[in-house]
Structure 1
Amino acid sequence: MIGIVGIVVVFAMVFGGYLLAGGKMGIIVKALPFEMMMIGGAAVGAFLISNDGGAVKHTLSDVGKVFKGPKWKPEDYRDLLCLLFALIRIARANPVEVEQHIEDPENSTIFQKYPKILADKEAVNLISDTMRSASMNYDDPHQVEEVLEKRIEANMHHALHSSHALQTVADGLPALGIVAAVLGVIKTMASIDQPPEVLGKMIGGALVGTFLGVFLAYAFVGPFAAKVKTVVEEDGHFYQLIREVLVANLHNHAAAICIEVGRQNTPSHIRPGFSELEEALNEVKQEAA
């Protein structure tokens, strides 16, 4: 919703200010389709040249994050802590039983209680793989922590590709606007014998290219890239939380301490409250009993 508000504000302030200053939309409206074809078409072509099919699909799907915001909400972090708490308790009490849950999460009664988490393959695999590592009796928990850190970093690097791709397009748009403007000047020079009022309109139309390139770069594509990066990094805290809790488990801390370590390392704006989480964990204990 806030993304739509931002777009409305951009158009209202830019074109509203232009009109209030006495500007006329006629020249812009007349030149806009052709300039958009040149600048927008060139930007799309350059984007396709510099990315493979998978990256293109990934970027197009990530554009929706500008309007949807982060995937994981505060209640999802609470559910994740409850899920991890249940798994750790079972692993401590009966290591054989927990294998049934981590080897087949789709049919696990614990995972099924949290369908949104179960639907995220990376989160499920991260939990299952780490719990499996714990069952292998690693001598050094730091080894698992290092593996998890590299895995999360690799996933983050991949997830940020769409942001980098959009930023590359944003960086190129002003130059593409200049290209369109130069073509407009060439067209104008070919009509140098025309009266000043005609030449003025032609030069104005050429300058629309420069305006459009800069406008798209700094008012839309650049902010889109920044927003996608922010959302991806925000969602990355979810996987960091898995790492924090399960590494604490490898150090043989009490289950409640492991969960509190994860809660404390969650950013404050999405961190579950202590009382809220304690109530949710008590429900988990009651269901297990």
Structure 2
Amino acid sequence: MVGIIGIVVVFVMVFGGYLAAGGKMGIILKALPFEMTMIGGAAVGAFLISNSASEAKHTLKDMAKVFKGAKWHPEDYRDLLCLLFQLLRMMKQNPMSIEQHIEDPTASDLFGSYPKILADSEATSLICDTLRTASMNYDDPHQVEEILEKRMDANLHHSMHSSHALQTVADGLPALGIVAAVLGVIKTMGSIDQPPEILGKLIGGALVGTFLGVFLAYGIVGPFASRLKTLTEDDGHFYQLIREVLVANLHQHSANICIEVGRQNTPTSYRPSFNELEEALKELKKAAA
């Protein structure tokens, strides 16, 4: 919703201000289809040249995030901490009992209690792979932490591709606008024998290209890229939380301490309060009793 409001504000302020200053939309509307074909078509073509088919589809899919917002919400962080608490407590009580959950999480009633986390293959894989490593007595927490860090850096780099691709398009749009404007000037020069009122409209139509390139770059595509980058970084905190908790477990801390370490390392806007998490964990203990 905020994204839609932002787009509306951009259009209203730019064109509303133009009209309020006495500008006329006629010349813009007349030139818009042709300028948009040149600038938009060239931008789409450049985007397809610089990205594979799968990357292009992934970018288009990710653009919906601008309107949907972050994938993970505060309640998801709470659920993740609850899931990790149950897994760690089970592992410390009976290491063999956790095997059925980490070998096939889709058949696990424990993971099944948190369908959104289960549906995320990277989160599930990260949890299961790290716990499997711990169950094999691979107890060097620093090396495990380094492996997890590299894995998450690689995933973040891949997830950032959409924002980088859009930012590249945004960077190129002003130049494409100039290309369209130059073509408009060439067209105008071919009609140099026409009266001033006609030449004025031709020059105005050519300048629409420059305007459109800059407007799309800094008013639409650039903000889309920036928003996608922010959302991707926000979602990355969810996986960082998994790393913090599971590395704390390798340091032989109790399940409660590991969960508190994770809670403290959760960004403030997503972090469940101590009492909220404590109540959720108490409910889990009651259900398991």
**TM-score greater than 0.5 by the shorter chain:** yes
- Aligned ranges for residues 1-289 of structure 1 at < 5 Å? 1-289=1-289
Q: 1:283 Cα deviation (Å)? A: 1.1
Q: RMSD of aligned C-alpha atoms?
A: 0.5
Q: Secondary structure at the match of 2:109?
A: coil
How does the TM-score come out when normalised to structure 1?
0.99
Tell me, in whole angstroms, the C-alpha distance in 2 between the residues paired with 1:201 and 1:155.
Answer: 51
One-letter identity of the residue aligned with 1:116: K
Tell me, in whole angstroms, the C-alpha distance in 2 between the residues paired with 1:126 and 1:54.
Answer: 24
Tell me, in whole angstroms, the C-alpha distance in 1 between the residues paired with 2:22 and 2:141.
Answer: 69
Q: 1:218 Cα deviation (Å)? A: 0.1
Q: 1:22 Cα deviation (Å)? A: 0.3
Note the alpha carbon deviations across 1:215-247, whole angstroms, 9 max, x for none: 000000000000000000000000000000000
Q: Secondary structure at the match of 1:110?
A: helix
One-letter identity of the residue aligned with 2:283: E
One-letter identity of the residue aligned with 1:3: G
Q: Provide runs of 4+ in structure 1 moved above 6 Å.
A: none
Q: Secondary structure at the match of 1:269?
A: coil
> Contact conserved, 2:139 with 2:250, CA < 8 A, in 1?
no
One-letter identity of the residue aligned with 1:15: F
One-letter identity of the residue aligned with 1:231: L
Q: 1:139 Cα deviation (Å)? A: 3.6
One-letter identity of the residue aligned with 2:115: P
Note the alpha carbon deviations across 1:178-204, whole angstroms, 9 max, x for none: 000000000000000000000000000
Q: 1:285 Cα deviation (Å)? A: 1.1
> Contact conserved, 2:59 with 2:165, CA < 8 A, in 1?
yes
One-letter identity of the residue aligned with 1:281: L
Tell me, in whole angstroms, the C-alpha distance in 1 between the residues paired with 2:140 and 2:78.
Answer: 29
- Count, aligned residues: 289
One-letter identity of the residue aligned with 1:262: G
How does the TM-score come out when normalised to structure 2?
0.99
Note the alpha carbon deviations across 1:72-113, whole angstroms, 9 max, x for none: 000000000000000001000111110100001001011000
| Structure 1: tracts of 5 or more residues without a match | none
> Contact conserved, 2:245 with 2:258, CA < 8 A, in 1?
yes
Q: 1:136 Cα deviation (Å)? A: 1.2
Tell me, in whole angstroms, the C-alpha distance in 2 between the residues paired with 1:212 and 1:183.
Answer: 14
Tell me, in whole angstroms, the C-alpha distance in 2 between the residues paired with 1:202 and 1:227.
Answer: 37
Tell me, in whole angstroms, the C-alpha distance in 2 between the residues paired with 1:51 and 1:261.
Answer: 40
One-letter identity of the residue aligned with 1:144: V
Tell me, in whole angstroms, the C-alpha distance in 2 between the residues paired with 1:44 and 1:231.
Answer: 24
Note the alpha carbon deviations across 1:14-44, whole angstroms, 9 max, x for none: 0000000000000000000000000000000
Q: Quick one: percent identity of the two aligned structures?
A: 77
Q: 1:138 Cα deviation (Å)? A: 1.6
Tell me, in whole angstroms, the C-alpha distance in 2 between the residues paired with 1:229 and 1:146.
Answer: 24
One-letter identity of the residue aligned with 2:7: I
One-letter identity of the residue aligned with 1:107: A
